[in-house]
Chain A
Amino acid sequence: ETGVTQSPTHLIKTRGQQVTLRCSSQSGHNTVSWYQQALGQGPQFIFQYYREEENGRGNFPPRFSGLQFPNYSSELNVNALELDDSALYLCASSLDLDNEQFFGPGTRLTVL
C-alpha cells in the first residue's frame, strides 16, 4: 500500500471541456509529480511541485496546469481538452526532492 490516492478513478469528457484530477500524497511527503501515460507508452513527465511551488515541467502546453496545497495534496487541471489527452494520469509523491517516488493507481481519462 503506497498511501497515494487519486480521484476519480475513471472520467469521461468531451472535446473542449475542462477537467480537474486530484491526488492525495503519502503522509509527510512534500513533493508531487504528475505524469501522462498514453496507451502502450511509458509515463511522460508533466510537472513537479515542491512545497507548493512548481519545480520543473515537461513538454506540455500551458493548458496543463497544477496546484499543490498546504497539506501537500495536489490537482492537475487540463483546459480545452483534446482527443489526444485521453490517457492514464499518474500522480507520485516523495518525501523530498530526489527521494523515491510512490505512485498512485492513476485516473483514466477518456476524451470523446
Chain B
Amino acid sequence: AQSVTQLDSHVSVSEGTPVLLRCNYSSSYSPSLFWYVQHPNKGLQLLLKYTSAATLVKGINGFEAEFKKSETSFHLTKPSAHMSDAAEYFCVVSNRDDKIIFGKGTRLHILP
C-alpha cells in the first residue's frame, strides 16, 4: 500500500524568500514521486519527478526536490519565491503495480 501526506494545507511566504512545501510518502516498493502545480482555472502541470535516479531533482521554474529514503520525504523547495508561484501544489506517489496517489495539496500564498 502507498500513501502521501502533505504536511501543510497553506504556506505563506514573502516574495523573494525561500519556499518549502513538505511531503512524506509511504510505499511498499520503490516509488516514483512527482510534484504538480495547479493554477486557478488551469490544468495540472508537472514540476518535477523522481524515478530512482539522482536524489536531488531539478524541475521547472526554479523548483527542486530531494528524495530522502531514510526520512520518506520528498520536500519541494525554491530559493526565491515569485508572485507567479502562488498556486496549489500536489505531491504524488506511484509505482507500476499500484495506484497513483495525490496528496491533498498545499496552497502557496506569496506576500508582496
Residues of A that sit less than 8 Å from B by CB = 2, 4, 33, 35, 40-45, 48, 56, 58, 90, 92, 97-98, 100-106
Contacts and interface: CB of A to CB of B under 8 A. Distances in A.
Given A56-B99, A58-B99, A42 B105 contact: yes
Interface of B: 32, 36, 41-46, 49, 90, 96, 99-105
Given A98-B96, A100-B49, A45 B101 contact: yes
B93 to A, nearest CB: 11
Contacts, number: 44
Contacts of B99: 45, 56, 58
B42 A105 contact: yes
Given A42-B102, A45-B102, 6 more contacts: A33-B100, A42-B105, A45-B99, A100-B49, A103-B43, A105-B42
Contacts of B41: 105
